[in-house]
Amino acid sequence: MTNSKNTSPNTLRIAIAQLNPTMGDIAGNMKLAREARADAARQKADLILFTELFVSGYPPEDLVLKPAFVDDCMEAVEDFAKETDDGGPGVIIGSPYAEYTDKGKSKTRTLHNAVAVLDEGKIQTWRLKVDLPNYGEFDEKRVFKAGPLPGPVNFRGVRLGIPICEDIWGDMGVCETLAESGAEILLSPNGSPYYREKMDVRQQVVIGKVVETGLPMIYANQLGGQDELVFDGGSFVINADHTLPVQMNQFEDSVITTVWRRGDAKEGESWVCDKGVIAKLPDVDEADWRACVTGLRDYVNKNGFKNVVLGLSGGIDSAIVAALSVDALGEERVRCIMLPYKYTSDESLKDAQDCARALGVRYEIVPIEEPVLGFHTALKDVFAGTDEGITEENLQSRARGVILMAVSNKFGSMVVTTGNKSEMSVGYATLYGDMNGGYNPIKDLYKMEVYKLSDWRNKHCPPDCKGPTGIVIPQNIIDKAPSAELRPDQTDQDSLPPYPVLDDILQCLVEKEMSTDTIVAKGHDKETVHRIEHLLYIAEYKRRQSAPGVKITRKNFGRDRRYPITNRYRDRN
């Protein structure tokens, strides 16, 4: 490796590694780290900064409670440290860290979220995360212990403060302590998952700490999908004068080197980062789309599926999921099946076919009349003397679910499910029917957001998306009234309020936890609000059994919103 050891105390070249680790793949993650360090050496970097818990993947949840896993992570760090005796860049890398303390005849094991500083062929030191987040999607206090307030690390004559993720978000005084104890630059490794407009929030948090400490900061963020979470990268630097000299892309992996120059200490000047890459960040619609694509792509690839299959109904939800699937995986890895019944309209058949042609996917038609008739025949005696209704409608959905799962089993394809957040909120979905599937890329998008993004995708083709340009969702699918087509002339609005009304009520109830009286005061009908709140609560049991899906909003179902299934509370006066 090229010798890039710094010969001047007045300059420092720090590479930021914005990469996509895989949970539990220690060897694979270390391969990424070695390749990134070699890249940083070619860029003549003195130091490379990796993201939070890079060695293990983030968030590891209860995986870190397995001692062998943590021991393997630490051993991998030790092996990597030995390679830093080559005169190349030093390393700051995140890993779980187990600390052992003798107590009498036994040893106490304390587990930390930590970073290791590697240089000159050894681990120079470990730094432990102080502020463990325990809200929303985070529950680190379940598995980790907080570390003590840290001091700076001396790296080749420069005192570096290393606050780990929440250490800059919370109020534990970590950054202030580092500044007071002599840190010159703050380097923050993060595992900060995406939600809409999160980049603005991150930059404001960092600027706040820069103002408090008077120190510049590097904010390095993870990339890639991990189950329901998507990490969008977007790493950046804020100088002490609050300017932004470096902004990396969202949703793209890269290693870039930042160049730092020491100011005049006598004049009270701090280190300053030279102007470098300033990426153009995506707008809200593009960011949401790319988050859905990234989450789906990584879920499929990291879990070893070769391709996906979905039911293409001619409706908006399955159409957008088909488009997302092609953007994520390419047309050759997406199979769409139309599953018509006697209530399926000619319009839907045409729309599904047009969508499949626009996307270039494999498309088949498998009628479900015979399996549905089989269910009716088998249940004839059991259902004798009863009227037909929702049960019989659900048999159609469940027949479709069985067929899609059969294709999945036969060919090893993962079923992508297509329910939006509006439907998941009020239970407008069938267990073991249209809810069947391994992953749902639109699970956290309300219905009107589905329409908005569909229209947006027809006009744009984002970077790193594999689908075609132009119209990929036929305009008629966007324009027509949505319908499950489970009975003659059915529309969704037969059972639900208009989607703009429904979505606003749900956002008030779910995202904002508003009282029903406050929602009514906004102009909504009281009876409708009470009905939607009731449907939201009684559908909890369905959501617990639903496929995971990409987190887009600040409060998704699952990690962020954990309501009890058995729950008689209703907000009534």
The pair of structure tokens assigned to 164 is: 């780990």
- CA-based torsion, 173, 174, 180, 184: positive or negative: negative
Q: Catalytic residue, from 52, 140, 228, 331: name it.
A: 52
DSSP one-letter string for 238-262: E-TTS---EEPPBS--EEEEEEEE-
Please, how many CA atoms are within 13 Å of residue 121, restricted to the half-sphere of its CB?
Answer: 3
Is 120 in the active site?
no
The pair of structure tokens assigned to 430 is: 């069938």
Spatial distance between the Cα atoms of 336 and 350, rounded to a whole number of angstroms = 14
The pair of structure tokens assigned to 313 is: 């109904």
What single DSSP character describes residue 193? B
Is 129 in the active site?
yes
The pair of structure tokens assigned to 104 is: 């009498």
Give which of 301, 311, 374, 313 is closest to 347, Cα–Cα: 313
What single DSSP character describes residue 282? P
520 exposed, middle or buried (CB, 10 Å; 0-12, 13-18, 19+)? middle
Task: From residue 330, give the alpha-carbon distance in Å to each of 171, 358, 472, 477.
Answer: 45, 13, 13, 22
Which parts of 139-222 are beta strand (E)? 153-155, 158-161, 185-190, 217-221
Helix axes 499-510, 447-459, angle to 10 degrees: 110
Is 522 in the active site?
no
List b or e across 200-209, with b for residues whose CB sees 16 or more CB atoms inside 10 angstroms: eebbebbeeb
Spatial distance between the Cα atoms of 364 and 117, rounded to a whole number of angstroms = 55
Q: Catalytic residue, from 5, 44, 145, 165: name it.
A: 165
**What residues contact residue 169 under an 8 Å CB cut-off, 6+ apart?**
131, 133, 205
Q: Catalytic residue, from 129, 209, 421, 551: name it.
A: 129
Spatial distance between the Cα atoms of 96 and 144, rounded to a whole number of angstroms = 9
Spatial distance between the Cα atoms of 521 and 554, rounded to a whole number of angstroms = 24
Spatial distance between the Cα atoms of 8 and 17, rounded to a whole number of angstroms = 23
CA end-to-end span of the chain: 72
Catalytic residues, by residue number, are 52, 129, 165
